[in-house]
Amino acid sequence: MNQFPYEYSASFAEKMDANDPLAHFRGKFHFPKVNGNEALYFCGNSLGLQPIAAEVYLKRELTHWADKAVDGHFHGEEAWYGIRKKSKPTLAQILGANEGEVVAMNNLSVNLHLLMVSFYRPTSSRYKILVEAGAFPSDQYMLETQLKFHGLNPSDALVEIHPRKGEYTLRTEDIEAEIQKQGDALAMVNMSGIQYYTGQFFDIQRITQAAHEVGAVAGFDLAHAAGNVPMKLHDWKVDFATWCSYKYLNSGPGNVSGIFVHETYANRPDLPRFAGWWGHSEAERFKMEKGFVPMEGADGWQLANSNVLALAAHQASLDLFQEAGMTALREKSIRLTGYLEYLIQQISGNSGVLEIITPKNPDERGCQLSLLIHKGGKAVFDEWYSQGVVGDWRNPNVIRLAPTPLYTRYSDVYRFATILEKSLRKFIDSPTTIQG
């Protein structure tokens, strides 16, 4: 339970905003409007807001293209040839990696498949993959078709781990026990870092260690973790990971993904991979000769020309993360999400209307709270939307709200609470009354 002395009052929220060292970042984003008014945006877990500077970053590349055309690859300070290097310092900080271990490329689902080529090497005895039940559909389809590609039957080779009866999230000790149980049969653990539906932040370090202890590799889909929680992928010895940039990383719809490949594999040209010219030794690339020689580190998994316009928008956001820092963001995030949790508990109380299924322990979640709504269904969510609340609805009855610390105020969370209170009045006999 949150210890902070929160209050359900406008003055408390205003005081918190006034003391927020990150408050000025809000002004660096475009906010959408709902019914003509600025939205209360709690959907950064699905699509992050547009940094106002994104336009400037994009225009710079358009101008470079207009002025230099093909020479733009090699000429000038903004030469595109080495553009992949620009995002590395900030990505490395966000993921807890060395710069050589990360590179921005492709889209998430594409990268998952590419990484499987290198890291999923089933044998007749070691071929199973462990994943949390209810994984994001793209991950499920990826795993299903990878297994079939290797001639395996997903109903045998895929081990899906479920929460205990009556629980919504997984216990780390149960994940570890399942890994130990699979033992020599387990080839890989492939889980999300933060579960998209429940908001649970898995113990990546312990899961990775358990996988390694039985001789399996550990890879993570960090779509909901990147830019949301600080991580230490290098120290945790994670084998590989991938993420997307359009959720918490605010880089625009469908924008570039990134991969992490642990340093242990930096010089492993023997690892099988599907290659393209952009992963080939940089010095030799334009010799256009036969024989693939991978670049060192994550760069050796690149296939194609960097997508310059995509990377420009990505960089606009990464520069804000660099300025804010993950430590400060996390600190605010824990407080802000704690405030949302507190207000929901104050308002819904023991009425049974709303049930938070995201873990209560801040170490086991990012900024997202997932709520089961037991009365009123989608009509309640739609009523919130008409008041300007942008969250997201997942069938059959889950509402996800993500007060992202980069651009959400305490007073936005407070305002949501007043809307929530009004909408629940008809279900609750004696609701708390709003003070201040």
Ligand X SMILES: *Cc1c(COP(=O)(O)O)cnc(C)c1O
Q: Is residue 196 near ligand X by the rule CB under 6 A?
A: yes
Q: Is residue 140 near ligand X by the rule CB under 6 A?
A: no
Q: Which is nearer to ligand X, 196 or 339 (CB)?
A: 196
Q: Which is nearer to ligand X, 47 or 147 (CB)?
A: 47
Sheet holding 369-373, edge to edge: 354-356, 369-373, 398-401, 392-394
Q: Which is nearer to ligand X, 224 or 365 (CB)?
A: 224
Place of tokens 């993921």: 95
Interactions with ligand X, residue window 241-260 (CB under 6 A) = 244
- Report CA-CA distances (Å) from 127 to 119, 156, 282: 11, 10, 35
Q: Which is nearer to ligand X, 368 or 423 (CB)?
A: 368
Q: Is residue 136 near ligand X by the rule CB under 6 A?
A: yes
Q: Is residue 139 near ligand X by the rule CB under 6 A?
A: yes
Return all residues near 59 (Cβ < 8 A) that are at least 6 apart.
Answer: none
Q: Cα(267)–Cα(61) distance, rounded to whole angstroms?
A: 33
Give the binding range for ligand X (CB under 6 A) out of 176-184, 220-228, 270-278, 383-391.
220-228
Directed axis angle between helix 54-68 and helix 308-324, to 10°? 140
- DSSP string spanning 252-264? -TT--EEEEE-GG
Q: Is residue 22 near ligand X by the rule CB under 6 A?
A: no
Q: Which is nearer to ligand X, 188 or 353 (CB)?
A: 188
Q: Which is nearer to ligand X, 193 or 294 (CB)?
A: 193
Query: Closest approach of Cβ 299 to ligand X, in Å?
Result: 20
Q: Which is nearer to ligand X, 398 or 413 (CB)?
A: 398
Backbone angles phi, psi at 121, to 5 degrees: -120, 75
Interactions with ligand X, residue window 330-349 (CB under 6 A) = none
Residue at 26: amino acid letter: R
Interactions with ligand X, residue window 163-192 (CB under 6 A) = 192
Backbone angles phi, psi at 54, to 5 degrees: -55, -40
Interactions with ligand X, residue window 28-57 (CB under 6 A) = none
Q: Is residue 138 near ligand X by the rule CB under 6 A?
A: yes
Q: Is residue 307 near ligand X by the rule CB under 6 A?
A: no
Give the binding range for ligand X (CB under 6 A) out of 9-17, 133-141, 302-310, 337-345.
133-141
Return all residues near 219 (Cβ < 8 A) that are at least 6 apart.
Answer: 115, 119, 188, 189, 190, 238, 239, 240, 241
Query: Closest approach of Cβ 43 to ligand X, in Å?
Result: 12
Q: Which is nearer to ligand X, 258 or 338 (CB)?
A: 258
Q: Which is nearer to ligand X, 241 or 347 (CB)?
A: 241
Q: Cα(12)–Cα(1) distance, rounded to whole angstroms?
A: 19
Interactions with ligand X, residue window 71-90 (CB under 6 A) = none
First-to-last alpha carbon distance for the chain, in angstroms, is 24
Q: Is residue 92 near ligand X by the rule CB under 6 A?
A: no
Q: Is residue 385 near ligand X by the rule CB under 6 A?
A: no
- Report CA-CA distances (Å) from 151 to 5, 157, 182: 57, 10, 20
Query: Closest approach of Cβ 63 to ligand X, in Å?
Result: 29
Angle at CA 133, nearest 5°, toward 132 and 135? 75
User: Which residue blocks in 165-234 are alpha helix, DSSP H?
Assistant: 172-182, 204-213
Give the binding range for ligand X (CB under 6 A) out of 85-93, 122-130, 217-225, 287-295.
217-225
DSSP state of 287: G
Q: Which residues bind ligand X (CB under 6 A)?
A: 107-109, 136, 138-139, 192, 196, 221, 223-224, 244
